[in-house]
Chain A
């Protein structure tokens, strides 16, 4: 099946919003999605974007049963390692179930790898849920290392009330 990978445009944000929700449903956390295509447009397409996005598109003839031609996306941003310097972080990677097994996921990851190497990034990092076996297998086959298992890294968060409380105590 024919597909192209291209940089997302502001008008793609509605499709990206739809797929973000599909991925959140798969990750069993749909109630945690609080933003819409409006915030995505504002935050991804200003002078200082907070993220970058690539989408996978199929021709009209191969559109999904609901009529969508944007069938996958990868959302990423640049990070910084105090040990190595510039890095790239893959925040979301998703291909609609009907369009899997056609190399689209592989092409999206390869596109990010290309961006990362062109921007002189030292590594690509991302997080996966421990029960998500298909994704774990996919990434391990590409040479990924599980740093949580290998080095014991845990992801922590201050949010909501805890963050506001901390901020109110600022000097």
Chain B
């Protein structure tokens, strides 16, 4: 199967996007952490001030998945800023349904995003990967990615909403 298209996500795609987000979270063993809703995806991605951008991979009706889906992959990204080099493209989520892998969909999505990064004057594309996710790490390293956590010692930290409220009340 070689037929698929990549296109910008539209409001009608939010239910497929959420389905794919949950599938990826399940693979990352963190399914219960997904609290985002279709309504929030719609408001935050397609309102006056989008917080994210999204591309989807779609197959023709005759190639639909076992459950009848034609949207079979997605990538969500947004622009961030590095005070040393300027604009960056940050890849937040990137997923292709299992039965549609091996056809180059993932590679094509990555290339499309790289092209967008270069066209919009981004110096770099950043993303995070779980260290146990060997297939993904190999996929990215084969294409020239560097692991900044290993090479430079960067560790990712998080302060949750509860602690934020506590800090801002002082």
Contact = CB atoms under 8 A, between A and B. Distances in A.
Given A50-B79, A144-B159, A155 B154 contact: yes
Nearest to A156: B145
A114 interface: yes
B117 A163 contact: yes
A159 B124 contact: yes
Interface residues of B, number: 74
B107 to A, nearest CB: 8
A167 B158 contact: no
A45 interface: no
Interface string B139-169: 0100111111110111111111111111110
Contact of B156 (A77, A153, A160): A153
Nearest to B95: A82
For the complex, would chain A's binding face be called helix, strand, loop or mixed by DSSP majority? mixed
Contacts of A78: 51, 78
Given A50-B79, A83-B25, A156-B146, A43 B131 contact: no
B84 A109 contact: no
Nearest to A86: B51
A159 B125 contact: yes
A155 B8 CA distance: 26
B70 interface: no
Contacts of A152: 130-132
A81 B30 CA distance: 13
Interface string B3-15: 0001000000000
Contact of A84 (B35, B130, B146): B35
Interface in B36-56: 36, 40, 44, 51-52
A81 B91 CA distance: 11
A158 B155 CA distance: 18
A104 to B, nearest CB: 14
A123 B158 contact: yes
A122 interface: yes
A80 B124 contact: no
B168 A114 contact: yes
Interface residues of A, number: 73
B157 A129 contact: no
Contact of B21 (A82, A114, A121, A170): A82
A79 B111 contact: no
B128 A153 contact: yes
B125 A91 contact: no
A91 B83 contact: yes
B85 A80 contact: no
A163 B125 contact: yes
A148 B155 contact: yes
Interface in A144-171: 144-149, 151-167, 169-171
A128 B85 CA distance: 18
A126 B146 CA distance: 19
A89 B124 contact: no
5 contacts: A128-B154, A153-B130, A154-B150, A156-B137, A169-B111
Given A91-B83, A114-B168, 13 more contacts: A35-B86, A81-B92, A82-B24, A83-B21, A110-B167, A117-B164, A121-B161, A154-B148, A159-B123, A159-B124, A163-B144, A169-B111, A171-B111
